[in-house]
Amino acid sequence: MGHLTMKRQQELVKRLDANPVGAPDSKELREILSMLYSEEEASIACQMPYSFSSTRRLSKLTGVEAERLEEILSGMANKGLVLDIRRKGRSSWFLNPLIIGFFEFTMMRVRQDFDQTKLAGLLHDYLLGDPENKMIIEAVAGETQLIRPMVHEGTLDDSVVEVLDYERTTSVINSAKYWAVGLCHCRHVQEHRGNACDTPQEMCLSLGPVAEHLVRQGLGRSITREESLEIVAKAREMGLVQLADNVQKGVVFICNCCSCCCGILEAYRRLKETTPIQTSNFIARVQEDACISCGKCVKACPVEALSIPAKKRPVELEQGWCIGCGVCATTCPTDAITMVDRPQRVHTPENVTERVVRMALERGKLINLILDEPENMTHRVLRGVINALAALPPSKQLLASKQLQSKFLKFMLPKLSHHPSSKVL
C-alpha cells in the first residue's frame, strides 16, 4: 500500500467519481487512496462494473485468474474497499463508493494494517476541511439522498394518524433477519483527532446481508434483535439522532449519531441555508404556553433549528431547517414539543434500486448503471454517442432517434438532456 502511480490515482478517482455520490478530486483523496489501495487492487477496482458482479465476470474483465482474484478481492473486502454479498455459497462483489462505503468501513474497527490516526486526519480534512464543501455537497445534495432521519417514536403527537413501518426504527429492526453492531466511523475519527466525546462508539447498527458481510470481515459484531432494540432505546435516552438507509424496504443500516462528531449532521448545519436537507415525514411543534424557555431543546437540536428570541419566552423553530428527528422533544421537561405530520410527505424510495436510479438520474450519471463496465470499449463508445446526442437540440435528437430506431435512445435522451451536467465519463 502507499505506492499508487499518478496515472493509477487519476483512474481510480475517475472510477469512484462515476458513482451517484461521486469523489471530487483533491490531494487528500489521492493520499487516502494511496494508503488503502495497492497498485494491483486499484487496477482491479478501475475495471469493476457499477453493479454487483460474480468472480467469474470480474475475472473475464480483468484478466486475473479466478482463484487469485478471489484472494485479492477478499483482502479488499477486509479493508472495507469492496462489499462481498454471498448467496448459495457464491460471492458477488461491489466496489464501495466513498459514502456510504469505504470511508466508514475503514474506521469501523481498530486495526494495525495502516495508520488510522493519519487516515482519520485525511478523512476529516477531505470531508469537512474544504472551504468549498465539495464533498459534503456531493454527499447530501439532490432531491434523493443516501440517508434519512428517523423520528423518535415516543415523541409523536396524538394528532398523528399513521406512522408507516419504514418510519419506525423498531419496525425496521424487527423485520430484519440479521443484526450487527460496529464502531461509529465519525466518533472513531474524532477520537484519533483528539476530539473524543463521551458517547459510546459501538452503536452503529447494520442489518441483513450487509450486516453479515461486516461480521465476516471483522467490521462488526453479530448481535440479536433484542440487543439491537436495546441500542436504539439507549440512543434515544442519550439524545442521539437516528439516521437510516433512505429506502422503505431492505434497510441495511441505522446510525445513532451525536451532533458533535457526525459528518452528515455537520453537512446539514453548513448547507442548511443553501441546500434542501433530508427530513423525516414529521416536524416539531412547540406548545408556546407550556414552554419555560429553559433552552434544553435548543442545545439538543442537531441542526440548530431552534432558538430563544430576545425578550420572548417561547422557543422558536425554523421550520425549513428541522430534520424531523424528535431529539428536541425528548429533552423538553414540560413536554412542550411534540412531532406532528409535515404538510407534505417526503418521498422515500421503495428499495435500493429505486434510490440508486433516482440519485444517478438527478446527478447525470444514469448512463453508468446501464453501460456499467468502465473499461469496455463498446460501452465507452456508446457513452460518447449517447452523451453527444443528449447535447443536441430536441429536433435533431428526434431525427437521430428515428434514424437509429432505438427505443433505448427514445427513453434515455429526454432524461439525459434534462441534466446538462451529464458528461462523457
The share of the chain scoring above pLDDT 70, in percent, equals 86
Average pLDDT of the residues in 179-196: 97
The torsion angles phi and psi of 407, rounded to 5 degrees, stand at: -60, -35
Average pLDDT of the residues in 364-369: 76
Same domain assignment for residues 46 and 120: yes
Residue 39 is predicted with a pLDDT of 96
How sure is the predictor about 148, in pLDDT bands with cuts at 50, 70 and 90?
A: very high
Instruction: Give counts: helices (H), strands (E), the chain.
Output: 20, 13
Phi-psi region of 80 (alpha: psi -120 to 50; beta: other; left: phi over 0): left
Q: What is the dihedral of CA 254, 255, 256, 257, to 10 degrees?
A: -150
Q: How would you classify the pairing of strands 221-223 and 179-183?
A: antiparallel
CA distance 35 to 179: 30
pLDDT tens-digit map of 65-114: 999 999 999 999 999 999 999 888 888 999 999 999 999 999 999 998 88
**Nearest CA-CA partner of 326 in 278, 284, 265:** 284
How sure is the predictor about 273, in pLDDT bands with cuts at 50, 70 and 90?
A: confident
Q: Is residue 366 part of a domain?
A: yes
User: How far are the Cα atoms of 27, 96, 180, 206 from residue 72, in angstroms, in the given order?
Assistant: 26, 15, 25, 25
Same domain assignment for residues 176 and 236: yes
The share of the chain scoring above pLDDT 90, in percent, equals 72
The yes-or-no verdict on residue 423 having pLDDT over 80 is no
Q: Is residue 1 part of a domain?
A: no
pLDDT tens-digit map of 390-411: 555 666 555 555 544 444 445 4
Average pLDDT of the residues in 17-26: 94
Contact status, residue 82 vs residue 54, Cβ threshold 8 Å: no
CA distance 302 to 243: 12
Q: Which residue has the higher pLDDT, 356 or 366?
A: 356
How sure is the predictor about 203, in pLDDT bands with cuts at 50, 70 and 90?
A: very high
Same domain assignment for residues 186 and 87: no
Residue 415 is predicted with a pLDDT of 46
User: How far are the Cα atoms of 81, 112, 150, 240 from residue 331, in angstroms, in the given order?
Assistant: 39, 40, 17, 11
- How many domains would you assign to the chain? 4
Same domain assignment for residues 321 and 358: no
pLDDT tens-digit map of 166-187: 999 999 999 999 999 999 999 9
Average pLDDT of the residues in 9-24: 95
User: How far are the Cα atoms of 48, 368, 371 from residue 57, in angstroms, in the given order?
Assistant: 9, 17, 15
CATH of the domain at 63: 1.10.10
Residue 78 is predicted with a pLDDT of 93
Residue 364 is predicted with a pLDDT of 77
Final residue in a domain of this structure, among 226, 249, 277: 277
Residue 2 is predicted with a pLDDT of 53
Secondary element (H or E) of residue 256: strand 253-257
Same domain assignment for residues 227 and 264: yes
Q: Please state the pTM of the whole predicted model.
A: 0.85
**Average pLDDT in the chain:** 88
Task: Name the residue range of residue 81's domain.
Answer: 6-138
Final residue in a domain of this structure, among 277, 299, 320: 277
The yes-or-no verdict on residue 269 having pLDDT over 50 is yes
Q: How would you classify the pairing of strands 316-317 and 306-307?
A: antiparallel
The yes-or-no verdict on residue 342 having pLDDT over 50 is yes
The yes-or-no verdict on residue 232 having pLDDT over 90 is yes
CATH of the domain at 291: 3.30.70.20
User: How far are the Cα atoms of 100, 164, 243, 255, 411 from residue 222, in angstroms, in the given order?
Assistant: 20, 27, 20, 16, 44
Cell 441542526 sits at which residue? Answer: 303
Final residue in a domain of this structure, among 277, 309, 332: 277
Secondary element (H or E) of residue 179: strand 179-183
Same domain assignment for residues 333 and 401: no
* DSSP secondary structure string for all residues of 223-253: E-HHHHHHHHHHHHHTT-EEEEES-SS---E
Cross-strand bridge partners of residue 256 = 242
CA distance 382 to 33: 29
Same domain assignment for residues 61 and 96: yes
Q: Is residue 422 part of a domain?
A: no
Q: Which residue has the higher pLDDT, 225 or 421?
A: 225
